[in-house]
Structure 1
Amino acid sequence: MRRVYSFMAVSALCVSMLLAAGCATSKRTAAVPRPEGKLAVAGFSNPIYNWQILAGYLEEEGKPVPDGTLQALDSALVDALHRHQVFDFITPTAVLQCQDVVVFEESGLPKISAWKYWLGVAKCIQADTLLVPQVTYWRERDGGPNGVEAPASVALDFFLIDVKNERMTRARYEETQVGLSENLFTARKFMDRGGKWVTATRLATEGIEEKLMELGL
């Protein structure tokens, strides 16, 4: 029988009382200074083979995200940048034109090919820094907001490429939502989500917000 994740009213009440008594919401600040020079932001890509990613490896190759996912993540990315007062950047639409120009090298070592491709895109668009977001794992929740058989789970990578120095900074976000009874250390996050099981898109949106700050954006 498939396991059913559910809430326990008593646990929820106890944790909510604890949080109300002791925790105050703090304003997030960027972990590092904002990158200098001209910033370009690529749209989300969805590598389905290991040679397509800039670093790391895929848990499962050959499994693309559902239709419409990348477009939704692109909108969330631009919205988050604007909330962070980042307005002067080359948009994903403009970057896409250079992606069409630069030919992805499928021969040779996988990581080198991906690196050369994105560095070529950055040089084509004449940016000092290029942000490359990739979604490497996506599982939608199986169920609804009040109970699931399998929770949502996502993995996102954000690569900030320094074009002049040909260096790359990576920020990775991975989360599989868990309930109150499974991990009290994530109780605050669970309650901030209204005590509900959220969608994969909601997890990814929170990941975008968090990792942009980590990269100074």
Structure 2
Amino acid sequence: MRSKSLAYLGVALLGLSLAAGCVRKTAPVSKAPASGDAPASAVAFLDKKFAVLPFAIPATDADLLAGYLPVARHVPEVAPVHLDAALEQDLAGAKQQFVPAKMAASCAKSAPRGDEPGRLGTLRSYVNIGKCAGADYVVVPMVIDWRERDGSEIGATKPASVDFVLYLIDVRTGAMVRNFHFDETQQSLVSNILDAKKFVSRNGRWLSAMELAQEGLKKGIAELGL
């Protein structure tokens, strides 16, 4: 009986050894940062300079750095203006350093686009904008879809819906290091009982598209570590 126990122990130790060997040989997997990673990233970004571009409305899939545009979408021309104002307000109390908004906007207009086709050229253009502005990172915001609610805050026949992305580009490496995608259509408590906490936090109100977007911006800023 003792010899069998030793044999089983030996097999178990061998299995653990092999498993450990597999773990050591496996390369670490890169993953998108969760909201809990934001405080650490905020510290890592200290003494770095950021250029925040104005919100843009992508015309083609090549304007995006990830994903694809929906077949049916609608964005009023005034939406980016309101989003720029909201984002600027949210970043006013940030600890990071930002280049003046006018400089970032000017560089966005004058910096050359990359020679590479498609999204590579789009990414290169953001890197060139960052170099023009003297920034370490570039924040690229885009609004993809914007649907205003039909009705009032106490009764809507059609809820507000907002879809936007925030990209964070490393100017030195030319890589997209982080991205945040907000795509939400407000739902009633009856439609989604699992979102009861969110429903209560909104006081049972039907939000406007701008109010919905403001919630998303705050989440995005936190996840990007700004």
In structure 1, the residue matched to 2:101 is 92
- Name which of 203, 206, 210 aligns with 2:219: 210
| RMSD (CA atoms) | 2.1
In structure 2, the residue matched to 1:69 is 79
For structure 1, list consecutive stretches of 5 or more residues without a partner in the other structure.
Answer: 1-27
For structure 2, list consecutive stretches of 5 or more residues without a partner in the other structure.
Answer: 1-35
| Distance in structure 2 (CA, Å) of the matches to 1:162 and 1:108 | 18
In structure 2, the residue matched to 1:10 is none
In structure 1, the residue matched to 2:110 is 101
| Distance in structure 1 (CA, Å) of the matches to 2:199 and 2:131 | 42
Structure of higher CA gyration radius: 2
Off by >4 Å, runs of 4+ in structure 1 = none
Compare relative contact order (CA 8 Å, sep 6+) and give the higher one, 1 or 2: 1
Paired residue type of 1:147: G
Secondary structure, counterpart of 1:121 in structure 2: helix
Q: Is the 8 A contact 1:46 1:64 kept in 2?
A: no
1:40-70 CA distances to partner (integer Å, 9 max, x unpaired)?
Answer: 1111111132122222111137x55213211
Q: How does 1:18-33 map to 2 (within 5 A)?
A: 30-33=38-41
- Name which of 154, 164, 189 aligns with 2:172: 164
1:13-34 CA distances to partner (integer Å, 9 max, x unpaired)?
Answer: xxxxxxxxxxxxxxx9835422
In structure 2, the residue matched to 1:111 is 119
In structure 2, the residue matched to 1:40 is 51
| Distance in structure 2 (CA, Å) of the matches to 1:51 and 1:40 | 21
More helix by percentage? 2
Paired residue type of 2:53: A
1:146-168 CA distances to partner (integer Å, 9 max, x unpaired)?
Answer: 22222111111111111112221
Give the fraction of aligned pairs with identical amino acids, expressed as a percent. 34
Q: What is the Cα deviation at residue 125 of structure 1?
A: 0.9
Secondary structure, counterpart of 1:39 in structure 2: strand
Q: What is the Cα deviation at residue 131 of structure 1?
A: 0.7
| Distance in structure 2 (CA, Å) of the matches to 1:93 and 1:68 | 19
1:100-153 CA distances to partner (integer Å, 9 max, x unpaired)?
Answer: 112446x86321121111111111111101111111111111222122222111
In structure 2, the residue matched to 1:173 is 182
In structure 2, the residue matched to 1:56 is 67
- Name which of 192, 206, 210 aligns with 1:201: 210
In structure 2, the residue matched to 1:143 is 151
| Distance in structure 1 (CA, Å) of the matches to 2:87 and 2:155 | 28
Structure 1 138/96 Cα, relative in aligned 2: closer, same or farther at 3 Å?
Answer: same
| Distance in structure 1 (CA, Å) of the matches to 2:116 and 2:158 | 39
Paired residue type of 1:198: L
Paired residue type of 1:149: T
Secondary structure, counterpart of 1:197 in structure 2: coil
In structure 1, the residue matched to 2:90 is 80
Secondary structure, counterpart of 1:79 in structure 2: helix
Q: Which moved more, 1:91-100 or 1:151-160?
A: 91-100
Q: Is the 8 A contact 1:133 1:159 kept in 2?
A: yes
Q: What is the Cα deviation at residue 77 of structure 1?
A: 0.5
| Structure 1 length-normalised TM | 0.78
Q: Is the 8 A contact 1:152 1:200 kept in 2?
A: yes
| Distance in structure 2 (CA, Å) of the matches to 1:70 and 1:108 | 27
